[in-house]
Amino acid sequence: MSAPILRVSALTKRFFGVTALDQVYLDVREGEIVALIGPSGCGKSTLLRCLTWLEQPDDGFIEVTGKPFGRELTPGGVVRRQSRRQIDALRPKIGIVFQQFNLWPHMTALENVVRAQIVVRRRPRVEAIRRGEELLERLGLADRMDRYPHALSGGQKQRVAIARALAMDPALMLFDEPTSALDPELVGEVLTVLRSLAEIGMTMLVVTHEIGFAANVADRIAFMDHGRILEQGPAREIISAPKEPRLRSFLDLVQADRRPIHPLTPSNITE
Amino acid sequence: MHFDPTVLADYWPLLLQGAWLTIQVSVAAMAIGYAAGIVVALIALMPGWPLRLVTASYVETLRNIPFIILLFVVYYGLPFAGIRLPATLVGTVALALFASAYYAEIVRAAILALPRGQFESARAIGMSPASAMWHVVAPQILRALVPPSTNMTLTMMKESAVLSSITVPELTYQSLVVQGNTFAPFEVFAAVASIYWLIASVIAEASRRLERRVGTAQAESVSRNPIAERYLSLVARRAS
Amino acid sequence: MGFKLDYLFSILPSLMNAALVNIRLAAIIMLLSVVLGTAFTIVRSLKITAVNMIIAVIISFVRGTPLLIQIFIVYYVLPAIGLDLSPEVAGVSAIVFNSMVFVSESMRGGLATIETGQIEAATALGLPPRAIWLKVVLPQLFRRIVPVLINEATIVVKGTALLSVITVVDVLRTAQQIASANYRPFETMIGSALVFLVINLVISLSGRMTEARFATARI
């Protein structure tokens, strides 16, 4: 078996003495969709921020496609923090779609996708535009390319953000709560988009607190609480036969609160 | 009472000289004041409350005393500190000091208005800090800066009329000279008001062009207004 | 010569006494400009084309010329057409005219945020226009522009300092008289700056207590 696309080992992050991530281990293999679930404040978002090195983890290692990211072990056995340039060079490999999308409001949808390609990947503008148009078309935004973000709906903004990340040819896509900034009836739409990405073999790590969504989208679910990954396994097993008591009580809690888990059929996927 | 513009015939050069000095003083005060304002804003944004307290006192003090008082404080204060400058320079310094407080608040507000996620999303995609500033942060800050800055510049230009009270020979001072010579207040002040009006229109027009150039800040502020939002969504729903 | 703090303290009482003139004039000006600004807003909302064109010119004039020039116009030009006003009345009129326009502009901005549905509903109920203004629109409008009015009050207080130029004996003119008698102009001016600082801080702090302050579009 080949090396995982993402390998996180012993990742630890403390904020002013509070441990937000406590020795996190997680592997994501090629083409896999992993959902990271857990109550709010459990460290899911901190993990994503550390994976993109927006937050510097205090300890542990991240490997992307087998290459160390952010911190590396030199042959002499010394741990060394990589330079900013080294980190920036690997960042395009990890595409992230933020909870609030963070589109750049002073650029059109197309320019949002094009600009980073030119600046980071040093593509000629013509090529960047071709790639941007292709991606936006594939995501159903052919008629929205010249719109500014404020003239787009939440779902459209999200797809622009996805296109912006995809244009960098990432090995891995991270999604931070992809359903939370959208109206509930758009959840089906997000699911369709993520599935279409899965079809082209994209590897994804999705942070969510919606169990139903996680069960529908993921091959594997990892449950996190108090900064640790307590249990992980195939989605069906995790939902139907949780072993960890805290996961069991978490599932009871959210299932009592929210609508029942049911597979989404095309009939309830709304635009 | 009759209106006879010919009484001004001999005095146009004087008034135009005054207008030219008004423009020069305003431009110089804008440049100095903006530079000082940026420095004050950047200090205000540094962590720690003592710095914020210092900059807030600076801004609030300058904003709460009348400019004419500030002018006299500087006018008598500089010799007090052993600095002797010509009146025009003193006036320019006072005007720049006055404007710097407002520019500082404008710059600070523009930087604070930028969501934190903007810089981060550019960094996360692999842009260097400099590229992220240039491509993502700066254009948005600039766009938020233009309308209030030009508005403030207009205010400052008008405020420069007060420099007449320390004998700076700008437009208002010259108008009082001409008024004293002609005893034709109607003609004199009609002419002077028109000149100010013209300068103000030029600034306003320049501001409009600059705003158009830096982008569609306005469309966005409309869509952020909750009532406008609700209205727009109603229209959209009716149309679909 | 060093800074004489005891001298500064010794002149503060007479400066504070003179400040009563500024406060009194500012209060009169604010009262008049709110009343006239409201009337102005109502006239503009009638949307009579010719009237609104004239009003647009007046607004552009007030915004495009210095307050000092506006004061000079009232002080020097009106006597020439037979209206001899005392310096105080002339100064108050000029600032009222200026301030009224800005009050009206912000009222118009506030008006745009009142939903038209309310007015339509009131019309549908058969309320006469006068009642709609008095009972529906104006109460909401005033509540919305309170922060603007507080800000305008500090601008008006600062504006009254200009009246010393047309011989009104206010803080600044008193300060100049004191300074020419004592040859300590710097301390005297610092004293008057302090007086204005206190007045305006009191106004804006009391305003801040009523509502979070608006971003100031103008000073």
Interface check B100 vs C, CB under 8 A: no
Q: Which helix (H) or strand (E) holds C72?
A: helix C67-72
> Of C62, C27, C37, whose CA–CA distance to C157 is shortest?
C27
Domain count for chain B, please give it: 1
The confidence band for A48, taking pLDDT boundaries of 50, 70 and 90, is very high
CB under 8 Å to B61, separation ≥6 — which residues?
B101, C197
CA distance B46 to chain A (A): 20
Distance CA B43, CA A108 (A): 34
CB A22 within 8 A of CB A28: no
B46 within a domain of the structure (yes/no) = yes
Please report the pLDDT score of residue A118 as a whole number: 95
Tell if the CB–CB gap between A91 and B123 is shorter than 8 Å. Answer: yes
Residues of B whose CB is below 8 A from A69: none
Tell if the CB–CB gap between B64 and C69 is shorter than 8 Å. Answer: no
Chains that touch C (3 or more CB pairs under 8 A): B
Distance CA A118, CA C45 (A): 52
The confidence band for A113, taking pLDDT boundaries of 50, 70 and 90, is very high
Per-residue model confidence as pLDDT tens digits over A33-44: 999 998 888 888
B116 within a domain of the structure (yes/no) = yes
B94 within a domain of the structure (yes/no) = yes
CB under 8 Å to A60, separation ≥6 — which residues?
A8, A9, A10, A11, A12, A21, A23, A24, A71
Please report the pLDDT score of residue B173 as a whole number: 96
Burial B16-39 (b: 16+ CB within 10 A, else e): eebbebbbebbebbbebbbebbbe
> Of B37, B1, B9, B15, whose CA–CA distance to B169 is shortest?
B15
CATH number for the domain harbouring residue B60:
1.10.3720.10
pLDDT at A211 over 50: yes
CA distance C193 to chain B (A): 6
Domain, as residue range, for B51: 6-239
Torsion angle, CA of A97/A99/A100/A105, rounded to 10 degrees? -10
Dihedral sign computed on CA atoms, order B164, B167, B169, B173: positive
Tell if the CB–CB gap between B70 and C197 is shorter than 8 Å. Answer: no
CA distance C175 to chain B (A): 10
Strand A94-97 vs strand A172-176: parallel, antiparallel, or unpaired?
A: parallel
Please report the pLDDT score of residue C217 as a whole number: 40
Q: What's the rounded mean pLDDT across residues A239-260?
A: 77
Please report the pLDDT score of residue A2 as a whole number: 66
pLDDT at A257 over 80: no
Which of C58, C72, C140, C167 to probe the B interface (max B CBs under 10 A)?
C72
> Of B240, B133, B213, B174, whose CA–CA distance to B19 is shortest?
B174
Torsion angle, CA of B81/B83/B86/B91, rounded to 10 degrees? -50
Interface check C66 vs B, CB under 8 A: yes
Tell if the CB–CB gap between C193 and B70 is shorter than 8 Å. Answer: yes
pTM score, whole prediction: 0.79
CA distance B127 to chain C (A): 33
N-to-C CA span, chain B: 65
User: Cβ of C86: how many Cβ atoms within 10 Å?
Assistant: 12
What number is the ipTM of this complex? 0.88
B142 within a domain of the structure (yes/no) = yes
Q: Which helix (H) or strand (E) holds C123?
A: helix C116-124
Please report the pLDDT score of residue C178 as a whole number: 93
CB C17 within 8 A of CB C155: no
B1 within a domain of the structure (yes/no) = no
Distance CA A16, CA A41 (A): 15
CA distance B74 to chain C (A): 8
Residues of B whose CB is below 8 A from A151: 219, 223
Please enumerate, as own/partner, the contacts of B43-47 that have beta carbons within 8 Å and a separation of 24 or more. B44/B104, B44/B108, B45/B108, B45/B111, B45/B112
Nearest CA in chain A to B134: A119
Residues of C whose CB is below 8 A from B162: 66, 68, 162
> Of A221, A210, A224, A190, whose CA–CA distance to A258 is shortest?
A210
Interface check C80 vs B, CB under 8 A: yes
Choose among A54, A88, A102: nearest Cβ to B128.
Answer: A88
Per-residue model confidence as pLDDT tens digits over C154-190: 999 999 999 999 999 999 999 999 998 888 999 999 9
B10 within a domain of the structure (yes/no) = yes
Tell if the CB–CB gap between C81 and B1 is shorter than 8 Å. Answer: yes
Choose among B63, B158, B185: nearest Cβ to C77.
Answer: B185
Please report the pLDDT score of residue A7 as a whole number: 93
Q: Which helix (H) or strand (E) holds A8?
A: strand A6-15
CB B204 within 8 A of CB B190: no
Compute CA A209 distance to the chain's CA centroid, rounded to the nearest angstrom.
13
Verify C-A touch: 3 or more CB pairs within 8 A: no
Taking 50 as the pLDDT cut, the residues of chain B under it are: 217-240
Distance CA A266, CA A28 (A): 28
Please report the pLDDT score of residue C206 as a whole number: 85
Tell if the CB–CB gap between B140 and A84 is shorter than 8 Å. Answer: no
The pLDDT > 70 percentage for chain C reads 95
Please report the pLDDT score of residue A266 as a whole number: 46
B72 within a domain of the structure (yes/no) = yes
Per-residue model confidence as pLDDT tens digits over C124-141: 787 787 788 887 788 888
Taking 70 as the pLDDT cut, the residues of chain C under it are: 1, 210-219
B179 within a domain of the structure (yes/no) = yes
CB B175 within 8 A of CB B192: yes
Choose among B123, B131, B220: nearest Cβ to A54.
Answer: B123
Nearest-5° angle of CA C55, CA C58, CA C64? 140
Per-residue model confidence as pLDDT tens digits over A59-111: 999 999 989 998 988 888 888 899 999 999 999 999 999 999 999 999 999 99
Q: Given strand A220-225, what is the order of strands in its sheet? A: A94-97, A172-176, A203-207, A33-37, A220-225, A228-234
Which phi and psi (to 5°) does residue C115 adopt?
-65, 135
